[in-house]
Amino acid sequence: RSSQQGAESGNGSPSSVVAETPSTEDFSLSLLDTNLPAEAETELRSFIVKRLTKGALFEGMGNVASVGLSIPEYRVGCYYCRFQQENLLEMATLESDINNAPEYVVCFVGGSEKEDTFRLELDKYIQSLKINLDLEQKTLETYVNPYLRSWFENAICPIQRVVQLFQEKLAFLLHAALSYTPVEVKNADERTEKDISRFLAAASLQGLVQEGTMTSLCIAMTEEQHKSMIIDCSGPQPQLHNAGSNRFCEDWMHAFVNGAEGGNPFLFQQILENFKLKAIQDINNLKRFIRQAEMNHYALFKCYMFLKNCGSGDVLLKIVKVEHAEMPEARNVVTVLEEFMRE
């Protein structure tokens, strides 16, 4: 069995550890790579052994726990994930082949248990390592070790970097994510392009609204080619073309920009989750008003006032329009609301 571990010390500098074990019940961990001091590495290894012994590590699913290490002299947050090399799993023909394939555990250690906020991002980060892992010494030095060392910068900091890059223009990015507007990035380096793409995915309501609604919205927005937003990163500040915004996104932009003063990536992730939660609450409220408005003209007025005052009426109306396309009575209410909003 193999374990890989990466750590980020209390001062924010990333560090990484990798250990390996033979696949037997009497396993032992052997270290592949770490930037932890020997004493802390031994303590972390003891923690992982206990988890392995209890059968508490499932392949490909990360966990976050609080661990006591002597080096920072306080309890730290540790993300750990057990996995097997992807190409070995694909080549295995018998169950015994899979059982005998080496296994790894990666650990990323940070200043607190807030790593739980980024568990899905870290799971994806491990998935990429799993696909590309090759334990030849050359690959270990040229790919695996640098990949582990940069975990904090690559998996945790993208949203923070986007906030710092866009500043007040972040409102346009939030609006594009919320309305499923296609975005084209020009003249950006690879990391910036990936950061923007990840921000848009993280800020969208994907997985929170019905899948059919999301698909229909994407199709509708893509067909309106003039609505595609262009981000030109050739200058020091990104220039935006065909960008839209609303009061809701501008209010939340201020929350992000104000949070940038502290420079805490975990805070940005929390603000992003709150942004999406509020958007979903507004959508659900509007749907409730629409159901009432099918039978009550006063409720129709309530719908209109809600759309006017929520700050995001343009986007919410698009979403409910798609969701109610096959429901005649609700569709009639939405049509009336569209006319009211245009006037």
206 domain residue, yes or no = yes
Note whether 124 and 181 are same-domain residues: no
The verdict on residue 152 lying in a domain is: no
Residue 108 pLDDT > 70, yes or no?
yes
Instruction: Kindly state whether residues 112 and 180 are assigned to the same domain.
Output: no
Domain-located, residue 107: yes
pLDDT at 278: 96
- One domain, residues 205 and 325: yes
Note whether 134 and 33 are within 8 A (CB).
Answer: no
129 and 208 both lie in a single domain: no
More confident residue, 21 or 164: 164
User: Which contacts of 87-95 are long-range, i.e. CB under 8 A and separated by 24 or more positions?
Assistant: 87/131
Average pLDDT over residues 60-86: 82
- pLDDT tens digits, residue range 195-226? 999 999 999 987 766 666 667 666 766 666 55
Q: Evaluate whether residue 200 is within a structural domain.
A: yes
- 217 and 118, same structural domain? no
Whether residue 196 sits in one domain with residue 123: no
Q: Supply the pLDDT for residue 96.
A: 54
Count helices and strands (H / E) in the chain. 16, 9
Determine the pLDDT at residue 4.
36
pLDDT at 10: 40
pLDDT at position 14 is 45
State the pLDDT at residue 21.
54
Domain identity same for 218 and 129: no
What 3-state class would DSSP assign to 182?
A: coil
Distance CA 319, CA 316 (A): 5
Query: Could you list the residue range(s) of the whole structural domain that residue 245 is in?
Result: 164-342
185 belongs to a structural domain: yes
Same domain for 182 and 285: yes
Residue found under tokens 């609301």 = 337
Q: What's 157's DSSP letter?
A: S
Q: Is it the case that residue 52 has pLDDT exceeding 80?
A: yes
**SS3 state at 258:** helix
Question: What is the signed CA dihedral for 53, 56, 58, 63, rounded to 10 degrees?
Answer: -130
3-state secondary structure of 162: helix
Is 193 in the same domain as 108? no
Q: How many CA atoms lie within 13 A of 228 on its CB side?
A: 13
Q: Is residue 9 part of a domain?
A: no
Buried b or exposed e, range 251-260, using 16+ CB within 10 angstroms: ebbeebbebe
Higher pLDDT, 77 or 271: 271
- Provide mean pLDDT across the span 311-322: 89
Question: Residue 213 falls within a domain, yes or no?
Answer: yes
The gap between the terminal CA atoms of the chain, to the nearest Å, is 67
Q: Are residues 109 and 256 in the same domain?
A: no
Q: Per-residue pLDDT for 238 more than 50? A: yes
Number of folded domains in the chain?
2
Does 192 lie in the same domain as 118? no
In terms of domains, do 252 and 116 share one?
no
Average pLDDT over residues 276-294: 92
The whole-angstrom separation of Cα 16 and Cα 8 is: 7
Contact 126, 155 (CB under 8 A): no
Q: Does residue 5 lie in a domain region? A: no
Cβ atoms within 10 Å, residue 93: 7
